[in-house]
Amino acid sequence: MFETLMIIALCLLVVAIMCNLYRIVKGPSSADRVQALDSVGINIIAGIAVFSVFLHTHAFFDLILLIGILSFIGTAAFAKFLERGVVIERKR
């Protein structure tokens, strides 16, 4: 029963990722796509969490935290690139 629930949760998350993908493929502006990518990251975090519960392990907890940080960094980099055209600005 519990496992079935977990699998259903995972499937729903995959469906969510697919919805995000639709936005990435279709999304009229780049900002939409970057937003969708961020959202995919969050969905992945959720997926990993559910999967850890499913497997009864805490080996993936580091990963959850890391994705949290990295997806933020990635999104920030994209945002900066879209806004200014540069990721890392030089101090002149």
Partner 1 sequence: MITLYLFIFLPFIFAFIVPFLFKYLNRQVHTGWFVMIVPLAILIYLLQFIPDVASGMTYEYTLSWIPSLGIEFTAYVDGLALLFGLLITGVGTLVILYSIFYMSKREALHNFYIYLLMFMGAMLGVVFSDHLLVFYGFWELTSVSSFLLISYWYERKSSRQGALKSMLITVFGGFGMLAGFIMLIMMGDTYSIRELIANMETIQSHVLFIPAMLCVLLGAFTKSAQFPFGIWLPEAMEAPTPVSSYLHSATMVKAGIYLVARMTPIFGGSPVWFWLVSGVGVITLLYGSLTALRQTDLKPLLAYSTISQLGLIMSLLGIGSLAVYFGPGESGTVFTVAAYAALFHLFNHSTFKGSLFMVVGIIDHETGRRDIRYLGGLMQVMPITFTIALIGGLSMAGLPPFNGFLSKEMFFAAVLDVSKAGVFGLDSIGALFPIIAWVASIFTFVYCMIFVFKTFGGPYHPERLNRKVHEAPLGMLLAPILLGLLVVLIFFFPNVLGKYILTPALSSVLPMMTPSSYDLKISAWHGLNYELLMTIGVILLGGLLYVIKKKWLPAARKFPQSLSLNHLFNEGLQGAERLSASLTSRYMTGSLRHYLIYVFAFFVLLLMGSLLLFHGIQFDFSNDAIVNVFDAGLVICMIISALTVLLASNRIVAIVALGVMGYVISMFFVIFRAPDLALTQMVVETVTTVLFLLCFYHLPKLKKTVERISFKWTNLIISIAVGLTVTVMALSAKGHKLFEPITSFFENSYELAGAKNIVNAILVDFRGFDTMLEISVLTIAGLGVYVLIRQRSKRGKEHEAE
How far apart CA 37 and CA 74 sit, in angstroms, is: 9
What minimum distance in Å lies between the beta carbon of 92 and partner 1?
13
Which stretches of the chain bind partner 1, using CB under 8 A? 7, 10-11, 13-15, 17-18, 20-21, 24-25, 30, 33-34, 36-37, 40-41, 44, 47-48, 51, 55, 59-60, 62-63, 66-67, 70-71, 73-74, 77-78, 81-82, 85-88
What minimum distance in Å lies between the beta carbon of 84 and partner 1?
9
Q: What DSSP letter does each residue of 14-68 carry, written as one string? A: HHHHHHHHHHHHH-SSHHHHHHHHHHHHHHHHHHHHHHHHHHT--TTHHHHHHHH
